[in-house]
Amino acid sequence: MTDATTTASIATDQPTTNTSTLETVCERLNQLTVRVDELETELTQKDKRINKLEAELTQKDERIDDLESTVTEQDVILGAVRKKTGNTRAMVQELQERELEKNAHLRWENVYPHRKELEISAEHFEKFTKDDGETYARIPGSDDPLNRGGKPTLTPGDLLPIQQLARMDDDMLHSAASSKPVRLAAEVWQDHEQHQSKLWNQGCNGVREYIDAGELAQWLRHNEPGVNKEYSQKLAGRTIDALLDLTKSRLYIERKNRRKDGLSYKERRVVLPEESEIPGETTFETDSPETADVGGE
């Protein structure tokens, strides 16, 4: 009786278990199907994205090819322009050389950038101003055959050597000056030609302007690198000698008594008298005898 009951119970439970397992399998299969569909959708989207990126990459490659082609063309054009510019510059320089050698007066701004490249017999260019107010360049001593711009305000023959040097730019001055005192003398005269001189003193009683050797030595210490007190005094003396020579005796030397630290000594003074004729300059009246100390005491 017991065996029959057990067999019947087993026969009753088996269909229930099979049904539950089948339902679980079906549910899992449905889940996998849904997941596969999702993955296929994602894959399709990624394929589209890849195709889009490949299309963009292709466009960029084509753009790069176009740019490389453009750059190559521009390099060819630039090379041609450089060659033409070089030829044009050489032609301009040759024309400037020929015209300057024929005593032409050329605009300074046109000559200045090329002046070091020009092969002319002159040691340097002369920079000067004409009646029209424009600045020109020429070989010293040459007159313009076409008389453009009027006459020069001063001809080289009218200028003192110190004036010729003082009107050069720095490069020309360093090239033309035969020594350091000559260059410094030109710079001292450049200061004289300024409307507000920092170095020259206004005089009176027949003295137009003057410089004391001590003031010149101090100026040299401030403006020349590596110049100490002892050397500045010697350099000031040599600069004064160059001033006298280059102004062709328009200046003269006085010795003034000085007192310092209880000691008395004589100091050289460079004097520009009112009676001296400086080309292109006019004498001026001093305000009063009290405006400057020329006694040196």
The answer on pLDDT for 291 being more than 50 is no
Question: Which residues on neighbouring strands pair with residue 257, listed in sequence order?
Answer: 266
Point out the least confidently predicted range of 26-35, 109-118, 195-204, 254-263: 109-118
DSSP secondary structure string for all residues of 208-259: EEEEEHHHHHHHHHHHSTT--HHHHHHHHHHHHHHHHHHTTTSSEEEEEEEE
How much is the pLDDT for 27?
A: 86
Residues of 165-175 as b/e, b for ≥16 C-beta within 10 angstroms? bbbbeeebbee
Percent above pLDDT 70 for the chain: 74
Q: How confident is the model at residue 251 (pLDDT cuts 50, 70, 90)?
A: very high
Distance CA 203, CA 274 (A): 9
What are 165-195's pLDDT values in tens digits?
888 888 888 888 889 999 999 999 988 887 6
How much is the pLDDT for 279?
A: 78
> Can you say whether the dihedral through the CA atoms of 89, 95, 99, 100 is positive or negative?
positive
How much is the pLDDT for 297?
A: 40
What are 128-173's pLDDT values in tens digits?
777 777 777 777 656 655 566 555 556 666 788 898 888 888 888 8
Distance CA 13, CA 184 (A): 126
The residue that leads in pLDDT, 2 or 85, is: 85
What are 68-105's pLDDT values in tens digits?
888 888 888 888 888 877 777 778 777 877 777 777 88
Alpha helices in 156-203 (DSSP H): 161-166, 170-176, 180-193
pTM: 0.46
Q: How confident is the model at residue 294 (pLDDT cuts 50, 70, 90)?
A: very low
